[in-house]
Structure 1
């Protein structure tokens, strides 16, 4: 099966990727500027992991349609707990508990207070919401309950940002030792490109940004780096073999030689991720969507950003043994 798929893709393509580098740089610059602008003006829709507050996932025997959502919202707004968000959850799997629009996600804003007082206020809000829903809807099921105070959520924000920065620095060091500094600069700039645009996508779509998203971004960094290393390995191999050809020709030859592998890897990964997004339920949809977007943008950056940057950093042929 795998050999048949490989044979579908030509092994001797001569697509002029490097000639398209200026267009790619302009497109990437536009996406980066747009992402930064969206982040600055719209911000991110932080989940409870980063904001604190109370999140409850509930299930009822009756369908939770738009009228039922409005009814629940009116009930909970009467508790005086501040902003409350409700979102219906639906599953396409008939075996799922949420099949038939019988589940809903409830978010309650962080309660005022500091330190222990804030923690107690969150717990009181949680109990108040559960009590009101139980009285109004006998038999309601609380499938999950998360209560986070502002101190814990603040620490999670710091840990999340730190993990991304540390990952990028370690990747820089790894590529520096694996290849030369010219390669490491290209690889890390491509990774920063992927991270910024992925965060921009979350700012524009206002999808919930939580710890699962951080995990997705770190996974994207690893995936993109793996793709870039494959391309760089082939570039180094071609530099040894074609020492007198122009650098642009050698880079283009190397990209085309890895194109089949790149496409097959990306497509098979996307098939799994799309299945996860469609069937994994609401809890996994944000993670899966981030991964789908990241695989696409990571594949693009490996070909159109990481490799062409070697022309700018002027990778030296005399560093290539052969």
Structure 2
């Protein structure tokens, strides 16, 4: 299936300045949100206790708050709806007492007069474990970025590597800004979504870079801007189909997957849109801004081919006994 015919080349680089201004504005807005509002760390990273309760009818949240105030174990607990009016989540900080008692039994006892319900889930994470998970999560993101930098630099060139890393930082920054804006809890699911965004965005960028390298190597055009426009145009159909099919699948998870997977799906939705955009309007323009010289690259390839030919000639002479 072909949505875009290659009868003409789209002028993507002609719009790159406008796109970069928009990207910088959104990234700076994300940084401002992160600095002022900050990330809302969930139980996985901040430590605490989560009790998920489901009623047979609408949950009496106000009555639940009054009942829980009597028990010091639930001091400072917050109660919010969880996907439906019948289901709620009770969040509280982890204390020494909450670790040594059965929170499920305490919840049943405290809410026994509020209606018919069942305790569906109890999660307890200590503050020390939460800090360790947070540190390891940040480390996993940093190591992933370093690994990508080394891989792209080895496969292409250092300019390609830096351009791809800038695009990935752009994607993750906007995703974190969106998470902060809507107030989602940052937990292990969101971390998994961010790592998925890195892989998804890099895959799109690598495909575009492959086309650019092919255009630089085999083409006679020495204008890098024209090569990028042609390369992006040739990958546009594939990029559109891949992004749309992935988006629809994740959107289905977001709409019907339930509250448990809500944060994961939302983060991926933002990442898919931003990652597709950045592979065209962020990574490629940065490569152009670094001043990648097509003529020098051709000379470099010619010298490399000459050295390989010389090595092959000497190998053949050695094998034939002529030195």
Q: Secondary structure at the match of 2:10?
A: coil
Q: 2 CA distance for matches of 1:265 and 1:135? A: 51
Q: State the 1:128 CA deviation.
A: 7.0
Extract unaligned runs of 5+ from structure 1.
1-5, 92-100, 112-117
1:102 aligns with 2:86: yes
8 Å Cα contact 1:12/1:256 also seen in 2:
no
**1:319 equivalent in structure 2:** 297
Q: Which of 21, 29, 46 pairs up with 1:26?
A: 21
Q: Deviations over 1:108-130 (max 9, x none)?
A: 1233xxxxxx4x44444835742
**2:63 equivalent in structure 1:** 71
User: What is the TM-score of this pair, normalised by structure 2?
Assistant: 0.87
8 Å Cα contact 1:61/1:140 also seen in 2:
yes
Q: Which of 103, 128, 137 pairs up with 1:160?
A: 137
**2:203 equivalent in structure 1:** 226
Q: 2 CA distance for matches of 1:171 and 1:308? A: 19
Structure label with greater radius of gyration: 2
Extract unaligned runs of 5+ from structure 2.
303-323
1:284 aligns with 2:261: yes
Q: Secondary structure at the match of 2:195?
A: helix
**1:173 equivalent in structure 2:** 150
Q: Deviations over 1:9-61 (max 9, x none)?
A: 33445221111111111111111111111111101111111111110111121
Q: State the 1:79 CA deviation.
A: 2.2
Q: Which of 234, 240, 243 pairs up with 1:266?
A: 243
Alpha-carbon spacing, 1:291–1:12, altered in 2? closer, same or farther (3 Å)? farther
Q: What is the aligned length?
A: 298
8 Å Cα contact 1:186/1:306 also seen in 2:
yes
**1:132 equivalent in structure 2:** 109
**1:203 equivalent in structure 2:** 180
Q: Secondary structure at the match of 1:243?
A: coil
Q: 2 CA distance for matches of 1:183 and 1:193? A: 15
Q: Which of 82, 92, 102 pairs up with 2:75?
A: 82
**More moved, 305-314 vs 159-168:** 305-314
Q: Secondary structure at the match of 1:7?
A: coil
Q: Deviations over 1:274-307 (max 9, x none)?
A: 1111111100011001000000000111000001
**2:316 equivalent in structure 1:** none
CA RMSD, 1 decimal: 1.9
8 Å Cα contact 1:51/1:110 also seen in 2:
no
**1:192 equivalent in structure 2:** 169
Q: 2 CA distance for matches of 1:309 and 1:107? A: 44
User: What is the TM-score of this pair, normalised by structure 1?
Assistant: 0.87
